[in-house]
Structure 1
Amino acid sequence: MKGYVYYSKAESVRNHAFIDDLIIESEKIGIELQLLVEDEKPNSDADFILFRDRNPERATTFELKGFRVFNRAEVNRIANDKLRTFELATLLGVPAVPTRRIRSIEEINSYPCVLKTVDGHGGNEVFLCTSTADAKLFFTKFHDRKLIVQPFIESGARDIRVFMIGNDVVGAVKRTGHGTFKSNYTLGGSVEKYILSSWQEKDAQTISQAIKSDYVGIDFLLLPDGRWLLNEIEDPVGARSLYVTYELSVAEKLMGYIKVKISRE
C-alpha cells in the first residue's frame, strides 16, 4: 500500500516530528508513506493522500484525480469556516457558541464580544472587543476578510478539545489559558487529560458522523455550570497536547485506521 502525507512547505517544517512518526508507523504496517509538499505532484498509483493543510480547493483537486483523501475536502471546507461550523451544529442540535456574519461595526449589538476571521486558526485572529474602538481596530486589520461576531461567554479561559479518529474518541484534553481568554496550548495555555462523560462523547460523535471525518479535533467551551458549547472544528488538528497528556502514538492509530479503511473500500 502506498500513500502520501500532504503539507504546505512551512507546515512541513513545523511538523517534521509528526511526519517522521507517521512514516515510521506506516512502515511497521506495510504502508509506503512519502511526504508531498506544496505543488509537488503525487504519482497516480498512490492509494491515498493524508491531507494536512487548510486548503479545501487543493483537497478537491486531489479527489477529482481519483485519490482517496483523508480528510475529505468537504470536512476541510466546513472545519475552516467557523460560520459553517455553527450552522452545522444548529442543524444537528449540538449546543454551540452563537455565531453570525458581520460586515460593519454597526451590526455589533453589545459589548464585550468576540470578533474572528471566519477562517483563522490557532487563536491568532481572535479578538475580545470591549468597545467600538476595539472593534474598529479589528475591522481595520482584517478589512479584506470574511468576519464573524460571537458573544463573549465566560468559561474561565477553559475549553475541551476532543480528538476523533473516525467515530472513535482517541482522547480529550482540557486547555486553560493564562493571562488571556484564549485557551490554545500553542499560545501558552496549560493542558491536562480530560475524561468525557457519555453525553459529551455523544455530542462529539454526532459531529464526526455528520461530516464523515477521518481525523479531527472538536473544540468545546467548558462553562462554569458544567455545560459546554461547540466552538470550532480543527482540520488539520495538531496533536501536541495529546502527546503530552496520553501515552499513545496518534500516528500509529491514524495509520492503522487508514489501512483498514483503504482495505475495505
Structure 2
Amino acid sequence: MDTLHLLENLGVPVINSPKAIEIAINKHRTLALLSKNGIKVPYTIVTENVNEAVKRLSFEKGIVVKPLFGSKGLGSFLLKDRDFAWRVLADLRYLRHVLYLQEFLKHGGRDIRAFVVGENVVAAMYRELPGSWKTNIARGAKPKPLKITDEVSEIAVKAAKIVGCDVAGVDIVEVEGEKYVIEVNSQPGWKGIQRVTKIDIAKKIVEYAVREKIKR
C-alpha cells in the first residue's frame, strides 16, 4: 500500500486508488459507509464483548462470523446455536480476534456479482452453489448468466462510488424482493464472470484507464 500511495503522490494513475482499497479491505467500514448512504446491508456488529454479541444477535436464521479482513469466503463460518456460538466467540476473543458478526440472509445458495468499471456495470452473473451458504467461485460456486437490470446497475455503481472504486466487484443478495450489498471488492477477479459474458472485461478496464486516467 505504501508503494501505491507513493506512486499516486508522484502523479502516476492508480486503479484503484490506495484509499479505496483500504476502505474496501475493511468490511465493516465498507458496510457502514454503504448503510449511511442508503444502501441496504445485513445487520452487522463489530465487538470485543462476547456477551454483548450473543445478546444482540438473533440465531433463528444464523450468524455469519467473518474475518474483518479477508476474501474468497476463507475463514467465514455459520453459527445457529446460541450456546455453541458463545463458546466459539469466546475462543476467538481468547486469541485476541475482533468479532465481526453478521445476520445471515437466506439467499437459497445464490447471489449476484456485478462488475463495475467507472460509471457502468459491464457484466454481471449469478453465483450458484445449491445447498451451501457460501457462493464464492473459489469455494465451488458456478457462474450463471444474468441480464443486467437498472436496479442492479444502480446499486452496484453507487456502492462502488461510495467506496471510491473505479473498478469493483459488488456482491448482492436478494431476500424477499429486497437487495442487500454484502461486499465491495476492490481487487475483483473476472475469470468466473468472463465465462458467462461476451464482454471483454479486461478490454473495458484498459479502455477506462486510458480514457479517464492516462489521457487526462
Q: TM-score scaled by structure 1?
A: 0.72
Structure 2 CA distance for partners of 1:211 and 1:151, relative to 1, 3 Å: closer
Number of the residue aligned with 2:209: 258
Amino acid at match of 1:256: E
Q: Match for 1:184 among 123, 128, 136?
A: 136
Number of the residue aligned with 2:69: 119
Q: Could you say what the CA RMSD is over the residues aligned between the two structures, in angstroms?
A: 2.0
Q: Could you list the runs of 4 or more consecutive aligned residues of structure 1 that deviate by over 4 angstroms after TM superposition?
A: none
> In the alignment, is the contact (CA less than 8 A) between 1:92 and 1:206 conserved in 2?
no
> In the alignment, is the contact (CA less than 8 A) between 1:105 and 1:136 conserved in 2?
no
Amino acid at match of 1:129: L
Aligned mates of 2:92, 2:99 — CA distance in 1:
11
Aligned mates of 1:153, 1:135 — CA distance in 2:
21
- Structure 1 residues 40-51: aligned runs within 5 Å: none
Number of the residue aligned with 2:44: 99
Aligned mates of 1:135, 1:58 — CA distance in 2:
41
- SS at structure 2 position matched to 1:200: helix
Say yes or no: does 1:129 pair with 2:56: no
Aligned mates of 1:176, 1:91 — CA distance in 2:
29
- Structure 1 residues 189-200: aligned runs within 5 Å: 189-200=141-152
- Structure 1 residues 222-261: aligned runs within 5 Å: 222-223=174-175, 225-261=176-212
Structure 2 CA distance for partners of 1:58 and 1:117, relative to 1, 3 Å: farther
Structure 2 CA distance for partners of 1:60 and 1:190, relative to 1, 3 Å: same
Structure 2 CA distance for partners of 1:180 and 1:92, relative to 1, 3 Å: same
> In the alignment, is the contact (CA less than 8 A) between 1:176 and 1:183 conserved in 2?
yes
Answer with 121-130 or 59-68: which moved more: 59-68
Q: Match for 1:146 among 61, 77, 98?
A: 98
Unaligned runs of 5+ in 1: 1-55
Alpha-carbon offset, residue 203 of structure 1 = 1.4
> In the alignment, is the contact (CA less than 8 A) between 1:127 and 1:138 conserved in 2?
no
Number of the residue aligned with 2:33: 88
Amino acid at match of 1:164: V
Aligned mates of 1:179, 1:155 — CA distance in 2:
10
Aligned mates of 1:221, 1:115 — CA distance in 2:
17
- SS at structure 1 position matched to 2:14: strand
Number of the residue aligned with 2:18: 73
- SS at structure 2 position matched to 1:100: strand
- Higher RCO (CA 8 Å, separation ≥ 6 residues): 2
Q: TM-score scaled by structure 2?
A: 0.87
Number of the residue aligned with 2:107: 155
- SS at structure 1 position matched to 2:165: coil
> In the alignment, is the contact (CA less than 8 A) between 2:26 and 2:69 conserved in 1?
yes
> In the alignment, is the contact (CA less than 8 A) between 1:161 and 1:220 conserved in 2?
yes
Aligned mates of 1:139, 1:251 — CA distance in 2:
44
Number of the residue aligned with 2:118: 166
- Bigger Rg, which one: 1
Aligned mates of 2:16, 2:90 — CA distance in 1:
32
Aligned mates of 2:64, 2:41 — CA distance in 1:
14
Aligned mates of 1:186, 1:139 — CA distance in 2:
29
Alpha-carbon offset, residue 146 of structure 1 = 3.4
Alpha-carbon offset, residue 148 of structure 1 = 1.0
